[in-house]
Amino acid sequence: MPTPTPDLVAPEITYHVPSSRSHNMTSLVRPHGPSTSSSPLKMASSQRPAEQPIQPSQRADRNIEKVVLGDLVFDTWYPSYYGKELLGDVSAVPEDWRTSHVKRDRDQHPVLDRLYVCPSCFKYSKELVAWWGHVRVCEKRQSVPGQKIYVHPRRKHKVKAARVRKSEVQPDETVHEEGEWSIWEVDGDQDRLFCQNLCLFAKLWLDNKSIFFDVTGFTYFLLVYTPPAGSSGQNEASSAVLQIVGFFSKEKMSWDNNNLACILVFPPWQRKGLGGLLMSASYEISKRQGVIGGPEKPISNLGQKGYKSFWAGEIARWLLSLDEGAVVDIKDCSDATYICLEDCLYMFREMDLLQDAGVGPGKPVVQDGDDGDEELDDEDARAVAKEVNRVKVDKAAVRKYVADHRLHLQKMCDPDGFVEGYAMGENGTGEEEDEVMED
């Protein structure tokens, strides 16, 4: 059976636009989607079985119970380092003492019941009236900081036309997916306050994130959904509001060639394939820069599960593309997928697809003649294949692994969706290298 395509659709969430007469709590609703229900999106329900959302156990020392983000209310998982003006003196108490104190007192409740966060700039308040007054006039309400670098192609699907009579056959109608998914690049140095607020907000669902205020050394890539104009539940004035649903950050200068520092899709939009889109985009950017890398270690348990699925899909697609009888090594896999050697080896062990093939000639190595000072023609070079311990991979086993783990073999990120020339030439792979070589 063919592998289902990773359809990216608008999150199935009910938006209630507050009326101009009253602005009370009735406009705040819980999201309808995989975060609170085991049923997937309607458009994907026939393609893959329902899965329970992955949610780690909530930490006992959480200092905020729930978050109000626009029209959505959802729980937090971990504490965040908001200041005294929000949490009071408890924010200044050392975390180790606060954790042990909460563990001793089972009846201890989070300091703040609800945190109100602007969905556009992530400024926050513990007062509903002040928050709502800001949201209505937020200068980023109809814009996103930084620049748009990627637009995901809209999915197409066919809808069978209804038959008026048995003898009449109407052609199927091609329907384009509504709304737009895009990625925006934000410089932590230029939009410092926005990135600081984003990091504080993200810490509520990230256990091992530690950088909140020194954001100047990072670049942030925002995943943004733009609803179609005149969509249901939105009036004409709010149709252009952009919704930030997740992000990943990346160090501007990484000695370990990390292409991602931290990644998060906000809980209401999880389990929709959006995390895979961000991971794929991070590797595509590395490919454009000519850098083989991976995410910063250690990876959280939730992130590890997502990356294992992504890496397995990339490696399986590469294995299935090889010719029968081809002799390759682990470096060929890394060069083709831009996944670092360490992660490639880890996934080959996890996938457990390798079979012992005994000792035999390995991949031919091209060697030059004895005199290295003289330039040699191609015919003077000779290929030597050393005897090595070999393993073999059965493509039928790879296809079975793909089916059993419901992997997608299509690329989540479309290379043609990036802005022309983006990230090219930064590390000697584009025009800048040609200029240097000419000099």
Task: Enumerate the β-bridge partners of residue 150.
Answer: 183, 418
Residues contacting residue 430 through CB under 8 Å, at least 6 positions apart? 288, 421, 424
Residues contacting residue 8 through CB under 8 Å, at least 6 positions apart? 152, 155, 177, 181, 272, 273, 274, 277
**What gap in Å lies between CA 65 and CA 22, rounded to an integer?**
26
**Residue 159 CB-density burial (10 A; 0-12 exposed, 13-18 middle, 19+ buried):** exposed
CB 13 within 8 A of CB 32: yes
Helix H or strand E encompassing 136: helix 128-137
Residues contacting residue 360 through CB under 8 Å, at least 6 positions apart? 387, 388, 390
**What gap in Å lies between CA 11 and CA 270, rounded to an integer?**
9
Does the annotation mark 296 as catalytic?
yes
Give residue 423's Cα distance to chain centre.
18
| CA dist list (Å): 250 to 67, 219, 243, 278, 292 | 26, 5, 21, 12, 14
Catalytic residue among 296, 324, 374, 432: 296
**What gap in Å lies between CA 435 and CA 330, rounded to an integer?**
33
Active site residues: 296
